[in-house]
């Protein structure tokens, strides 16, 4: 089949699976937010009341969508199992499955462009994919062992160790893969831990609970405790993971030389903000947490702000040789002018293989990000973004697949500084 048609088909697959991933993710995280809120917001019934006698440990009233709701939580379980019991698990599984598929569609099928950055590490396709998949397996294994170890009994310490483990993973991955792939794999690793918790601990625990009830035994509280521990972790993972899932749009974070530290700070901010909401639902307002979280985000924003660059006179290899010979005047004359004709030449050589109406780069059916850079008008129109991506962030060309030189980047900088005419 025509290669263009194949990558066009993959583009649609990308769209549909991403859409599904988003939908199932919203269903999962939404339900999980709701239950955390519910758990923190219910209040115990009056002692001696009918509800208390029935074993209800907490309840609340809510109005939504034109109706009144009165959920009640039973301490262990109701005296009799209801005929129909709703489980919440397919949202989590479907989110993981679609996310895993996205790893293949976006990253593994196009590893040379999307995962490998030869300036970071000289990996081949299989090594890069191995690092990606290995991260998910190692991440879950380490996390699960930690939770089951004696450390698992010490919530706060376990939280700190987990955080350090995730930061270490970010450090290693950003030194092996492109920044963007490194970030998404930290997210996929945490997401795998979350779904692993549902599949391997929370749901089996609930099954044990229901089974015990069915045969009329009182269930072992250990299952409830273990499930609770994992569900608390999942709760703190949500905001950091959601950031990572959208991070691929923000090259300023994952392309920074200290991208792992940037990620470490953003993850900490997410967890702090989540902590505030958890406390608030339970009736405690501790503004210190969100203030610390926002301050951390602001500190990151300031720390990674692009420095205004001095437009340097471009030095071509030829000019270098000339100036070495002492003919500076000749060098200046030989230096290419930062005019649109020259910029267009650079862009058509270094960018247009992807950024054109019909890309010639294998794996690209349409211009990425809808950015077509063929005519001089298109180049002028997108000058800000070209400057940002190719000069400030050096995020483009993607993985520098087209081997743009520093001189060419500098020339784009000079052209931009002179008004991008
Ligand atoms: C190998 C393919 C490839 C090459 C070559 C390439 N790009 Fe890109 N470009 C991409 C992809 C993929 C994206 C989308 C990235 C994303 O969604 O985060 C993109 C996005 C962009 C964006 C949009 C960013 C945004 O925030 O909307 C700009 C601007 C850009 N590229 C400029 C350039 C310039 C300038 C060059 C040449 C110096 C270049 N690209 C070369 C693949 C390429």
Q: Where exactly are the structural domains of the chain?
A: 3-41+86-303, 317-417
Q: Which two tokens stand for residue 83?
A: 């005929």
Single pTM value for the model:
0.79
Tens-digit pLDDT profile for the chain (421 aa)?
Answer: 677 788 788 889 999 999 999 999 999 999 999 988 898 889 999 988 888 888 888 999 999 999 999 999 987 777 777 888 888 899 999 999 999 999 999 999 989 888 998 888 999 999 999 999 999 999 999 999 999 999 988 988 999 999 999 999 999 999 999 999 999 999 999 999 999 999 999 999 989 888 888 888 877 888 888 888 898 899 899 999 999 999 988 888 998 889 999 999 999 999 999 889 888 877 788 889 999 999 999 999 999 887 665 555 555 554 444 444 444 444 444 567 788 999 999 999 999 999 998 888 887 878 888 889 999 989 998 898 899 889 988 889 988 889 999 999 999 999 999 988 8
Least Cα distance to 213 among 88, 76, 89 occurs for 76
The Å distance, Cα 187 to ligand 1 centre, comes to: 22
How far apart CA 306 and CA 302 sit, in angstroms, is 9
CB of 36 sitting under 6 A from ligand 1: no
Least Cα distance to 412 among 309, 348, 338 occurs for 338
Neighbours of 360 (CB within 10 A): 10
Ligand 1 pocket test: pick from 102, 355, 381 the residue with the most ligand atoms within 8 Å of its Cβ: 355
143 close to 193: Cβ distance less than 8 angstroms: yes
Residue 247 CA neighbour count, 13 Å, CB half: 28
The Å distance, Cα 174 to ligand 1 centre, comes to: 20
Cis peptide before 389 (omega within 30 of 0): no
Ligand 1 pocket test: pick from 109, 343, 371 the residue with the most ligand atoms within 8 Å of its Cβ: 371
| Sign of the torsion formed by the C-alpha atoms of 215, 220, 221 and 222 | negative
Closest atom of ligand 1 relative to the 369 alpha carbon: 14
Closest atom of ligand 1 relative to the 397 alpha carbon: 41
CB of 353 sitting under 6 A from ligand 1: yes
Q: What pLDDT is stored for residue 327 in this prediction? A: 46
Q: 87-122 in b/e burial notation, b at 16+ Cβ within 10 A?
A: ebeebbebbbbbbbbbbebbbbbbbbbbbbbeebee
254 close to 247: Cβ distance less than 8 angstroms: yes
Least Cα distance to 337 among 360, 313, 357, 373 occurs for 313
The Å distance, Cα 209 to ligand 1 centre, comes to: 52
Determine whether 341 is exposed, middle or buried from the number of CB atoms within 10 Å of its CB (0-12, 13-18, 19+): exposed
The Å distance, Cα 370 to ligand 1 centre, comes to: 9
The Å distance, Cα 167 to ligand 1 centre, comes to: 28
223 close to 208: Cβ distance less than 8 angstroms: yes
How far apart CA 157 and CA 220 sit, in angstroms, is 26
The Å distance, Cα 390 to ligand 1 centre, comes to: 9
Q: Which two tokens stand for residue 93?
A: 């599984």
Q: What pLDDT is stored for residue 323 in this prediction? A: 45
CB of 398 sitting under 6 A from ligand 1: yes
Ligand 1 pocket test: pick from 15, 110, 368, 404 the residue with the most ligand atoms within 8 Å of its Cβ: 368
The Å distance, Cα 351 to ligand 1 centre, comes to: 8
Q: Which two tokens stand for residue 80?
A: 């009799």
How far apart CA 209 and CA 79 sit, in angstroms, is 13
Q: Which residue has the tokens 């440990």?
A: 57
The Å distance, Cα 282 to ligand 1 centre, comes to: 46
> Which residues fall within 8 angstroms of residue 45, CB to CB, at 6 or more apart?
51, 52, 56, 58, 59
Q: Which residue has the tokens 């294998």?
A: 362
Determine whether 204 is exposed, middle or buried from the number of CB atoms within 10 Å of its CB (0-12, 13-18, 19+): middle
Q: What pLDDT is stored for residue 224 in this prediction? A: 81
Q: Which two tokens stand for residue 322?
A: 């000339």
Closest atom of ligand 1 relative to the 404 alpha carbon: 38
CB of 405 sitting under 6 A from ligand 1: no
188 close to 136: Cβ distance less than 8 angstroms: yes
The Å distance, Cα 396 to ligand 1 centre, comes to: 5
Instruction: Name the closest-CA residue to atom 1, ligand 1.
Output: 398
381 close to 359: Cβ distance less than 8 angstroms: no
Find the Cα–Cα–Cα–Cα dihedral 212, 217, 218, 223, rounded to 10°: -30
Ligand 1 pocket test: pick from 110, 398, 412 the residue with the most ligand atoms within 8 Å of its Cβ: 398
How far apart CA 360 and CA 52 sit, in angstroms, is 70
Q: 132-154 in b/e burial notation, b at 16+ Cβ within 10 A?
A: beebbeebbebbbeebeeeeeee
How far apart CA 185 and CA 171 sit, in angstroms, is 12
CB of 368 sitting under 6 A from ligand 1: yes
Determine whether 124 is exposed, middle or buried from the number of CB atoms within 10 Å of its CB (0-12, 13-18, 19+): exposed
365 close to 408: Cβ distance less than 8 angstroms: no
CB of 354 sitting under 6 A from ligand 1: yes
CB of 351 sitting under 6 A from ligand 1: yes
Ligand 1 pocket test: pick from 350, 351, 396 the residue with the most ligand atoms within 8 Å of its Cβ: 396
């Amino acid at each position: 089949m025509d290669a263009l048609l194949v990558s066009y088909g993959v583009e649609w697959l990308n769209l549909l699976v991403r859409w599904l991933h988003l939908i199932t993710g919203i269903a999962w995280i939404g339900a999980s937010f709701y239950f955390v809120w519910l758990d923190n917001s219910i209040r115990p019934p009056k002692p001696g009341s009918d509800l208390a006698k029935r074993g209800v440990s907490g309840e609340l009233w809510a109005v939504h969508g034109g109706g009144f709701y009165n959920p009640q939580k039973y301490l262990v379980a109701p005296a009799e199992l209801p005929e129909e019991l709703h489980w919440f698990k397919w949202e989590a599984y479907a989110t993981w499955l679609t996310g895993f598929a996205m790893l293949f569609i976006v990253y593994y099928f196009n590893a040379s462009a999307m995962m490998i950055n030869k300036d970071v590490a000289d990996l081949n396709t299989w090594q890069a994919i191995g690092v990606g998949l290995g991260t998910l397996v190692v991440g879950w294994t380490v996390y699960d062992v930690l939770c089951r170890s004696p450390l698992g009994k010490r919530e706060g310490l376990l939280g700190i160790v987990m955080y350090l483990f995730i930061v270490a993973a970010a450090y290693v991955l950003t030194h092996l893969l492109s920044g963007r792939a490194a970030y998404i794999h930290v997210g996929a690793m945490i997401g795998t831990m979350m779904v692993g918790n549902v599949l391997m601990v929370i749901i089996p625990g609930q099954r044990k609970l229901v089974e015990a009830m069915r045969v009329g035994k009182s269930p072992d509280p250990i299952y409830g405790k273990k499930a609770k521990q994992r569900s608390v972790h999942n709760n703190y993972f949500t905001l950091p993971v959601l950031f990572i899932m959208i991070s691929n749009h923000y090259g300023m974070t994952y392309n920074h030389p200290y991208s792992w530290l940037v990620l470490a700070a953003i993850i900490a901010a997410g967890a702090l903000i989540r902590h505030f909401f958890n406390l608030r639902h339970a009736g405690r307002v501790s503004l210190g947490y969100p203030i610390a979280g926002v301050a951390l985000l602001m500190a990151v924003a300031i720390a990674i702000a692009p420095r205004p660059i001095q437009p340097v006179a471009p030095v071509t290899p030829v000019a270098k040789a000339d100036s070495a010979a002492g003919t500076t005047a000749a060098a200046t004359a030989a230096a290419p002018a930062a005019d649109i004709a020259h910029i267009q030449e650079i862009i058509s050589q270094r960018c247009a293989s992807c950024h054109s109406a019909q890309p010639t780069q294998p794996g690209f059916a349409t211009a990425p990000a809808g950015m077509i850079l063929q005519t001089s008008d298109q180049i002028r129109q997108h000058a800000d973004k070209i400057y940002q991506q190719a000069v400030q962030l050096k995020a483009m060309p993607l993985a520098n697949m087209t081997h743009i030189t520093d001189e060419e980047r500098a020339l784009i900088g000079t052209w931009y500084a002179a008004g991008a005419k």
